[in-house]
């Protein structure tokens, strides 16, 4: 029998999720696989500094009678699953046993399988269904007669305590603001840039912007800054309308049917734009990752999914590809000084390198200090009353690095992570999104919309 090597010499690879295979949904088979992987993790323990899943697992083992995984009650396996928010950092940065290693450990996708089995059993609460329904909440909360009330409720300490008691939404967790003037309304009067797109080997030179729920309803200024920066670089931008949520919030919940509904709404629309010669960018790393990795791993035989995957780019990745062919405007007007840059987990998983850092470092008089630690936000993890303290604990090393940097700005491609860091700092400072920083460096005014 061949000996088992410690770690891999080959590059990690990802297998399709396999949700169409009958054994995927078998709970007994799931628990067998959970026990196998938990036992490998227990014997390694390299991931203890990441999320709360691993300390939870190791504590359960250490407190069991056998001091092994076989001494942990099967029902307690779910405690480990509930703490996983699919950041993928264990797979990307720690685990020596990911495929093609023969032990074939893909902890995040095993947790995803468990979440899907749990959801299918109906073991999910109303709060989690509600806060992952980003499309429905955004459309309702952006109604002119509703917006002010929603924002007032979300920012009032008294009503936040009520939300804590009634829904389990932590009173200290940052909740996004909503705008009655959505991105669609603000962009309605803009004329697309009238210029011929300049193609390169990697880009078509014209971009369809999948603005995401957050970009449409919560912080449309970021999407507008992206449009300003891209047009300043001679890149025509078309805002894609009539889109649905990318599906990532429902994926993290294990709601496969909702993910499929989002896919069926978005993919044909985006694929038709690809056929017309448009590349696609999104301003939120998790949404980009959904189209680049998660949907392709769930639906590897769907030609339209794969077509969209090939045309999907992180916005700074796109700019650096243009810069490689000397098409990036480097006529910067304003130095940015020292920037603490939190590298978002779902951007790291894209395996593109620190393209945001690389672009910002092109600005004279600018120093970018990367922080490669998870912020612990995860969109909904920190919002939940039972997990908020864990989320803040995970964020603390990031907050400490920002405090120590004596910076001019702090930033993250994940705008929600930026606000999570803001909560940890609690000093009145605000994050500035990297695309906004680039607009400032170009000397471009903010949108008047």
Tell which of 97, 120, 143 closes a domain. 120
Rg (C-alpha) for the chain, rounded Å, is: 22
Q: Are residues 116 and 140 part of one domain?
A: no
Q: Is 366 among the domain residues?
A: yes
CA distances to 72, 329, 377 from 126, in Å: 29, 48, 20
- 237 and 273 in one domain? yes
pTM comes to 0.92
Q: DSSP assignment of 163-193, as one string? A: HHHHH-B-TTS------SS-HHHHHTTPPPP
Q: What angle do CA 279, 283, 288 make, to 5 degrees?
A: 65
For residue 357, being part of any structural domain is answered with yes
Q: End of a domain among 302, 321, 340? A: 321
13 belongs to a structural domain: no
Q: Which two tokens stand for residue 355?
A: 């393209």
Q: Do both 357 and 424 map to the same domain? A: yes
Q: Is residue 309 part of a domain?
A: yes
The 3-state secondary structure of 424-448, one letter per residue: HHCCCCCCCCHHHHHHHHHCCCCCC
Q: Where are the alpha helices (DSSP H) in 63-178?
A: 77-83, 89, 107-120, 126-131, 134-141, 144-155, 157-167
Q: Residues 314, 334: one domain?
A: no
One domain, residues 152 and 100: no
Residue 2 belongs to a domain: no
Side-chain half-sphere exposure of 101, counting CA atoms within 13 A:
18
Instruction: Flag whether 7 is in a domain.
Output: no
**233 domain residue, yes or no:** yes
**pLDDT per residue as tens, the chain (449 positions):** 444 555 556 678 889 999 999 899 999 999 999 999 999 999 999 888 888 899 999 989 999 889 998 999 999 999 999 988 888 888 988 888 999 988 999 999 999 999 999 999 998 889 999 989 999 999 999 999 899 999 999 999 999 999 999 999 999 998 999 999 999 999 999 988 888 899 999 999 999 999 999 999 999 999 999 999 999 999 999 999 999 999 999 999 999 999 999 999 999 999 999 999 999 999 999 999 999 999 999 999 999 999 999 999 999 999 999 999 999 999 999 999 999 999 999 999 998 999 999 999 999 999 999 999 988 887 788 889 999 999 999 999 999 999 999 999 999 999 999 999 999 999 999 999 999 999 999 999 987 66
Tell me: do 312 and 406 sit in the same domain.
no
The Cα 205–Cα 199 span in angstroms is 5
Question: Residue 181 and residue 216: Cα distance in Å, rounded?
Answer: 9
- Domain co-membership, 189 together with 316: yes
Measured CA to CA in angstroms, residue 350 lies from 222, 303, 358 at distances of 21, 20, 16
**Tens digit of each residue's pLDDT (9 = 90 or more) over 290-338:** 999 999 999 999 999 999 999 999 999 999 999 999 999 999 999 999 9
Residues in the chain: 449
Kindly report the CATH number assigned to the domain that includes residue 395: 3.40.50
- Number of domains making up the chain: 4
Q: Based on the domain organization, do 206 and 155 belong to the same domain?
A: no
Q: For residue 8, tell me if it sits in a domain.
A: no
The whole domain housing 159 covers 126-167
Where residue 128 falls (left for φ over 0; alpha for ψ -120 to 50; beta otherwise) is alpha
Whether residues 86 and 137 share a domain: the answer is no
The last residue of a domain, from among 294, 321, 348: 321
State whether 375 and 312 are in the same domain: no
Q: How far apart are CA 23 and CA 30, in angstroms?
A: 8
Judgement on whether residues 203 and 291 belong to the same structural domain of the protein: yes
Q: Is 215 in the same domain as 304?
A: yes
């Amino acid at each position: 029998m061949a000996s088992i090597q410690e770690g891999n010499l080959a590059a990690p690879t990802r297998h399709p999720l396999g949700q169409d295979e009958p054994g995927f949904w078998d709970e007994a088979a799931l628990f067998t696989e959970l026990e196998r992987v938990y036992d490998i993790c227990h014997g390694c323990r390299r991931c203890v500094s990441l999320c709360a899943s691993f300390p939870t697992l190791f504590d359960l083992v250490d407190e069991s009678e056998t001091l092994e995984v076989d001494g942990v009650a099967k029902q307690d396996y779910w405690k480990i699953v509930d703490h996983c928010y699919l950041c993928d950092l264990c797979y990307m940065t720690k685990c020596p046993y990911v495929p093609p290693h023969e032990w074939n450990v893909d902890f995040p996708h095993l947790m995803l399988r468990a979440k899907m089995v749990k959801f299918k059993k109906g073991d999910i609460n109303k709060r989690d269904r509600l806060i992952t329904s980003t499309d429905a909440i955004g459309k309702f909360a952006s109604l002119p007669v509703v917006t002010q009330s929603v924002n007032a409720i979300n920012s009032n300490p008294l009503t936040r305590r009520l939300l804590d008691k009634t829904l389990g939404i932590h009173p200290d967790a940052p909740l996004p603001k909503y705008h009655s003037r959505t991105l669609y309304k603000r962009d309605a009067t803009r004329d697309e840039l009238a210029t011929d797109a300049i193609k390169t080997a990697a880009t078509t030179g014209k971009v369809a912007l999948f603005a995401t729920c957050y970009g449409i309803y919560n912080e449309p200024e970021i999407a507008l800054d992206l449009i300003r920066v891209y047009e300043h670089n001679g890149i025509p931008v078309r805002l894609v309308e009539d889109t649905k949520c990318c599906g990532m919030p429902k994926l993290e919940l294990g709601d496969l049917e909702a993910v499929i509904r989002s896919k069926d709404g978005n993919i044909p629309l985006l694929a038709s734009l690809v056929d017309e010669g448009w590349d696609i960018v999104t301003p939120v790393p998790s949404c980009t990752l959904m189209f680049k990795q998660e949907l392709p791993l769930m639906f590897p035989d769907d030609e339209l999914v794969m077509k969209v995957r090939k045309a999907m780019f992180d916005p700074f990745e796109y700019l650096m590809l243009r810069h490689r062919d000397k098409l990036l405007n480097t006529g910067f007007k304003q130095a940015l000084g020292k920037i603490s840059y939190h590298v978002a987990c779902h951007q790291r998983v894209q395996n593109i390198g620190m393209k945001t850092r690389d672009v910002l470092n092109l600005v004279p008089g600018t120093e970018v200090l990367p922080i490669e630690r998870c912020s612990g936000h995860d969109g909904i993890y920190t919002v939940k009353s039972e997990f908020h303290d864990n989320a803040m604990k995970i964020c603390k090393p990031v907050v400490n690095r920002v405090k120590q940097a004596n910076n001019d700005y702090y930033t993250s491609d994940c705008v929600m992570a930026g606000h999570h860091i803001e909560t940890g700092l609690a000093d009145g400072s605000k994050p500035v999104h990297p695309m906004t920083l680039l607009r400032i460096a170009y000397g471009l005014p903010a949108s008047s919309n």
